[in-house]
Structure 1
């Protein structure tokens, strides 16, 4: 083929390739357009179905108005307070007698070192440190000076007393011990141990702290320190 034929063939080939590219691009654009329109149509179809369902639902279940907002204060009945009737007679509060905390301390009567009968109830209105002890008891001997010092102070304000109950020792022995040490607090003799048994004493010293109304507030076993005595008085007297 001559040179002119080759040029003509090249031109024809270029035209064919161009037509193929144009046709291919048109097909791609059509598919994209078709897919896009189909997606939009699907979305519109779904929205239409949902709207139809909502309308049906609204027809079946109408909205309930807010009754609280529609009612005025005059429409709401007033609340009636129920006041309990007072009992015609109020029973007096009683406390059970016993030897535990918050029980009424059992009353008793024992003779002091001069043979004078002393009752626990005669100290009503004062705080009583009811102490069970014996001269042969070393811990009892240790706490006696604290009782004596506190007793001197108690005499000044007359708010508390020490009542020391000696267990099953004779008058002569106990009196000699008290006079030798110059103790001035009240001492009584439980010669047969009856009161110690009544208060369930298993070890000494044991001290019952009894308030102004005769109620047992605390029980301590072992020697008491002087400051503890003052603390109890302060607490029970409301100072």
Structure 2
């Protein structure tokens, strides 16, 4: 039993060490991207420095993206007062008219941008899959990069620390 317990503890320590190393090793500054929202506003990461920024790449035909919308709305409602800026970037293949109709129908309260020329997906490392989410801290460092649906509890925990 002692050996089994020791191996379990050693495994957990190794796992935590690997996670800590990965988080430290992969920290990088967000690109100096500029988003044009459906409302015509220009949101530049450089000008948003000092605020946490949640960027999600999504598509109107992506089931996981659609499932995340209530969580994004909840995050907007809970953390908007803490200066959280949420920007949902529609993939270049998503027709602008579909995106506009979808946003209007769902009454999305956060910023939605189009990426017609693919410059934003390139700036963020050639995003291919949706949803792909980035959390940028107040200093402009990407502290989370998640391909696939994000974990709301984990994301809330990160946001409360910012």
2: CA distance, partners of 1:202 / 1:172: 21
Aligned counterparts of 1:182 and 1:114: Cα–Cα separation in 2:
13
Alpha-carbon distance in 2 for matches of 1:232, 1:117: 26
1:198 equivalent in alignment to 2:123? yes
Deviations 1:177-202 (A, max 9, x none): 01111110111110121210221212
Q: Does the alignment pair 1:223 with 2:141?
A: no
For structure 2, list consecutive stretches of 5 or more residues without a partner in the other structure. 1-24
Q: As a proportion of its length, which structure holds more strand?
A: 2
For the 8 Å contact 1:149–1:226, the answer to whether it is kept is no
- In our comparison, the structure showing a higher alpha carbon Rg is 1
Kindly tell me the number of residue pairs found equivalent between the two proteins. Answer: 136
Output aligned runs, 1:72-91, within 5 Å: none
Q: TM-score, normalised by structure 2?
A: 0.77
Would you say the 8 A contact 2:134–2:145 is kept in 1? Answer: yes
Q: Per chain length, whose mean CA-contact separation is higher, i.e. which structure has more relative contact order (CA < 8 Å, sep 6+)?
A: 2
User: For 2:99, which of 165, 170, 174 is the aligned residue?
Assistant: 174
User: Unaligned stretches of 5+ in structure 1?
Assistant: 1-99
- TM (norm. structure 1) is 0.53
Q: CA deviation at 1:101?
A: 2.9
Alignment of 1:101 with 2:26, yes or no, is yes
Instruction: Give the structure 2 partner of residue 150 of structure 1.
Output: 75
From 207, 210, 214, the equivalent of 2:136 is 210
Q: Provide the aligned C-alpha RMSD in A.
A: 1.6
